[in-house]
Amino acid sequence: MTVTSFDDSVEIALGSNTQTSVKILNYGATVLSWKINGKEQLWLSEASKLDGSRAVRGGIPLVFPRFGPASGNHPATDKLPQHGFARSVTWELLGQVDDHTVQFGLGPENLPKDIAAAWSYDFTLIYTVQLLQDSLKISLDVKNPGKEAFDFNVLFHTYFAVPEVQNVTVAGLNKLAYFDKVASAQVASDSEKEVTFCKETDRVYRNSPAQVEIKEGSKTLFTVQASNLKDTVVWNPWTEKAQEMSDWAPKNGFHQMVCVESGVVADFAKLASDASWTGSVILKAHI
């Protein structure tokens, strides 16, 4: 294994076999690329900005401390942009934990003034990315060294690369209630056997199972194994939404991706003074 630091990013490669690797941008601590034997496992928009001017469109952006747009009923995070600030600020590379693991850190000192003013809590985030032979383990520690408790959402907004989303299903969410963000309605139970994709899909499953699978027919493409992350978001923008996003390319690229995102988003988690919290996901690619 080798870890190489660049000015704006860090890359971990498996031994001399550089065909299996992960690349993380310091901006947002966003995983940009995860390759196994040369095959890219994540979708990244060709029009995504990678220069720190806006959040990366693709890979694994981190959502913290709020999910979605301001709701108007949560003053502590309502001044923050959609999906919070973690994905659109530059993290500090803390270094290597071992030859296949790196850590990034973020605290109030890393925030631009306007964001620090909008969310003035004391906090420490430690993001750990570990590359294994066929999987990627990503883990976030949230610490509250301050005197005041704070609320937070967190989400690993993973854009999986798939051959054709219309042939893909997400298994493990069968018959669960979900909030349909497209219809803005709670759906009591789902008659579909597995989640399928033939239109814009934007669902929040509260208290979802720890393990879900992304499948193509009977073949499992990815297993997503979450710890201490009770919700799952499933998203594909489809034709019109992709068209509307200036950083989405190619426009029909939504056929080659699906977001299956593990997190705590249906409700805010609360972190008391001096408390800490950890959530992690193991993404396993079946190749």
Ligand X SMILES: O=P(O)(O)OC[C@H]1O[C@@H](O)[C@H](O)[C@@H](O)[C@@H]1O
Q: Does 66 bind ligand X (CB under 6 A)?
A: no
Residue 214 near residue 160, CB atoms below 8 Å: yes
Compose the 151-190 pattern: x for residues touching ligand X by CB under 6 A, - for all others: ------x-----------------------x---------
- Output the six-digit token pair for 254: 């939504």
Is residue 83 annotated as a catalytic residue, yes or no? no
Compose the 227-266 pattern: x for residues touching ligand X by CB under 6 A, - for all others: ------x-x-------------------------x-----
C-alpha separations of 213 from 174, 192, 217, 284 in Å = 11, 15, 12, 10
The verdict on whether residue 54 carries a ligand-binding annotation is no
Q: Does 82 bind ligand X (CB under 6 A)?
A: yes
Q: Does 100 bind ligand X (CB under 6 A)?
A: no
Catalytic residue among 100, 213, 255, 261: 261
C-alpha atoms less than 13 angstroms from C-alpha of 139 in its C-beta half-sphere: 14
Nearest approach, Cβ of 241 to ligand X (angstroms)?
A: 7
Complex with ligand X: residue 35 or 87, whichever CB lies closer:
87
- Output the six-digit token pair for 193: 């056997």
Residue 214: strand pairing partners: 170, 222
- Output the six-digit token pair for 199: 């239109």
Catalytic residue among 11, 83, 100, 157: 157
Nearest approach, Cβ of 1 to ligand X (angstroms)?
A: 31
Q: Where are the alpha helices (DSSP H) in 53-190?
A: 113-118
Q: Does 31 bind ligand X (CB under 6 A)?
A: no
Complex with ligand X: residue 133 or 246, whichever CB lies closer:
246
One-letter identity of residue 165: V
Binders of ligand X among residues 187 to 226 (CB under 6 A) are 202
DSSP state of 61: P
The verdict on whether residue 66 carries a ligand-binding annotation is no
* CB environment 125-147: b (16+ within 10 A), e (fewer): bbbbbbbbeebbbbbbbbbbebe
Q: Tokens 């919700």 belong to which residue?
A: 231
Nearest approach, Cβ of 5 to ligand X (angstroms)?
A: 27
Q: Which residues bind ligand X (CB under 6 A)?
A: 82-83, 157, 181, 202, 233, 235, 261
Instruction: Detail the residues annotated as belonging to a binding site.
Output: 57, 82, 87
Q: Which residues are catalytic?
A: 157, 261
